[in-house]
Amino acid sequence: MVQSNPTLDELELLRWDLRRDCTDIIMAGGGGHIGGDMSVIDALMVLYLRHLNVSPAMVDDPDRDRFVLSKGHAMEAYYAVLCQQGFLDLADVKARFQKYESPYIGHPNNKLPGIEMNSGSLGHGLPVAVGMALAAKMDGRSYRTYTIMGDGELAEGSVWEGAMSGSNFELDNLCALVDRNRLQISGCTEDVMRQDSQEERWAAFGWNVLSIPGNDLAAIDAALTLAAETKGKPTAIILNTVKGYGSPVMENQAKWHHQLPSQEEYAQICADFAARKEAVIRG
């Protein structure tokens, strides 16, 4: 169902339904990046439902806001949000996800309505988002551009070329979110390639930096508002998240980067989401 500007209280409930949709898509397709889906889905939801000026009717509108999921492997979370917003049909995605000749592949496919860019080869989202934001300035358009990267992804050198360009061109219409879940495909980011002092790194590149609890809906919402109000420089939002957030079965464990739950684990994960939703209802 498409919602227009839901309240944060409504989103506190919806986040658990979207996690369930995301998990069901993964189970139907026989695989997916469930850990990174769960860390980023709250930011995707708040961005799409409360900030992005885009809708199924606007996919070709030159003034639509642009979004690039640079950590493209979190596609199942993105499917859940795109379906909720009416860009795609959830039953169809579940029926055909990762099937032969299906457009619903495991990474963003720009043949699908609402998806701006093919991604999944890490490190490209920010440079392309810089180009989109710069184009808006050059064309005199008021749209904003957003991208979400993983913290493991920040080991790609092209990210920092994009960071340099973003501040050089004073792209205050650009916002980069970093899913700082501290895990990547093969273990802790700090063991693979240190990512400490993210805040200082982005500030040194001339960005406005906001570092927030990244699974806190109100904090995400406030940061996105602040980013839109910031003038003269782009904003980086460091989302301090938990990989696998929502079920202790998979929270904070590197092996859940791309692991298919067993039927028993799936049942427990769904029960955990339902319990978290129930706790919100009970207040």
Ligand X SMILES: Cc1ncc(C[n+]2csc(CCOP(=O)(O)OP(=O)(O)O)c2C)c(N)n1
Kindly list the residues in this chain that would bind ligand X in the complex (CB under 6 A): 33, 36, 39, 71, 73, 120-123, 150-153, 179, 181, 183-185, 243
Q: Which residue is nearest to ligand X (CB)?
A: 150
Nearer to ligand X, 152 or 234 (CB): 152
Nearer to ligand X, 71 or 144 (CB): 71
Q: Closest Cα to residue 78, out of 68, 64, 91?
A: 68
What minimum distance in Å lies between the beta carbon of 89 and ligand X?
Answer: 26
Nearer to ligand X, 33 or 64 (CB): 33
Tokens of 114: 């609402």
What minimum distance in Å lies between the beta carbon of 107 and ligand X?
Answer: 8
What minimum distance in Å lies between the beta carbon of 54 and ligand X?
Answer: 23
Nearer to ligand X, 39 or 173 (CB): 39
Nearer to ligand X, 144 or 182 (CB): 182
What minimum distance in Å lies between the beta carbon of 136 and ligand X?
Answer: 26
Q: Is 69 helix (H, G, I), strand (E, B) or coil?
A: strand
Amino acid 234 reads P
Neighbouring C-alpha atoms within 13 Å toward the C-beta of 175 = 26
What minimum distance in Å lies between the beta carbon of 73 and ligand X?
Answer: 5
Distance CA 278, CA 283 (A): 9
What minimum distance in Å lies between the beta carbon of 280 and ligand X?
Answer: 25
Q: Closest Cα to residue 69, out of 134, 36, 3, 116?
A: 116
Distance CA 254, CA 242 (A): 11
Q: Are 129 and 169 in contact (CB under 8 A)?
A: no
Within 8 A by CB and 6+ apart from 62, the residues are 139, 141, 143
Q: Closest Cα to residue 265, out of 241, 280, 277, 247?
A: 247
Nearer to ligand X, 170 or 199 (CB): 199
